[in-house]
Amino acid sequence: MAKHGTNSEDYAGPLKRLLLAVLLLCLVGLFIFWRIDSPRAERFRAQIVDTVMPGFDWAMAPVTGAVRILRDFQSYQRIYDQNQELRRELRRMTAWKEAALQLEQENARLRDLNNVRLDPRLTYITGVVLADSGSPFRQSVLINVGSRDGIVDGWATMDGIGLVGRISGVGANTSRVILLTDATSRIPAIIQPSGQRALITGDNSAAPPIDFLEDPDQVRPGDRIVTSGDGEVFPPGLLIGQVAEDPGGRLRVRLAADYERLEFLRVLRDHGARRVGSPSALILPATPPAIELPPAPEPGDG
């Protein structure tokens, strides 16, 4: 048995080499045949391809599927990259849009406030906001115009869009502006189009409440609020904001002025208004003259 096994191994090696040599010769012959430039060889090659290739469709199916999957993945990767790039571009465009809107608003304010001349015949003068109070109990800002510019206590200030507050304290070169949101602020107003009169009362919040309405049922959120001119402190018709309703159902004012970006303030000259003698004090009617009574008759006189 051992000898028989040894003979089999002796024949297996040369047989493998012979088969390998025959395979190589066939491949070389096929290569040479495939390179022959002859019409007869070309027809023979076409017949071989037509006979062999249809039977290899099942063998090429996995390769074809893998190629399609690879192409789909590459296409998906390109689409994903384009989507990410579009998202980044959209974020950049959103930032540019916000910056453009801010610049447009600032440009509109500057064009509207472009009247910085010290001429007493003008109806307003523009000042730059220097600082704010920084206190939750007092809402005020400081501007760089004062008594040398003819500023008077009680004059209204605007940011080019809506009413901001009133002058309360004047120095030589600076003035203090009490904002509408301050707790000491009380502004008589008219709500349009209903014509309801009310009082805008500051409470140190961003949306002051509306008090003393004549008929609240005629007021709707979104109605326009302007100054009424009552008390002759503010000129009538200055825009304050719009009516809004808080979660508790109380009517408040959505201020038209942009309190987040107070850079320039317009001080309205109102020479026809009654001047405030003491800042933040009430304007009372003039005291009537005292009536002199005749002296009382002395005892014993007829």
pLDDT of 200 reads 92
**Of 188, 212, 148, which Cα lies nearest the Cα of 273?**
188
pLDDT of res. 225: 92
Spell out the residues 6+ positions from residue 143 whose beta carbon is closer than 8 angstroms to its own.
127, 128, 129, 130, 157, 174, 175, 177, 265, 267
Question: Residue 201 forms beta bridges with which residues?
Answer: 186
Task: Report pLDDT for 291.
Answer: 57
Q: For residue 217, how far is the Cα from the chain centroid? A: 33
State the pLDDT at residue 266.
87
pLDDT value at residue 56: 58
Pick out the chain residues at pLDDT < 70.
1-11, 34, 38, 41, 45, 49-60, 105, 107-122, 133-138, 271-302
Here the tokens at position 218 are 């005629």
Q: Which tokens belong to 18? A: 């012979």
pLDDT of residue 260: 82
- On whether the CB atoms of residues 155 and 269 are closer than 8 A, the answer is yes
270: enclosing H helix or E strand: none
Each residue of 112-133: pLDDT tens digit? 665 544 334 447 888 888 877 6
Q: Which residue is listed with tokens 């994903």?
A: 80
For residues 208 and 253, the answer to whether their CB atoms sit within 8 Å is: yes
Confidence (pLDDT) at 271: 61
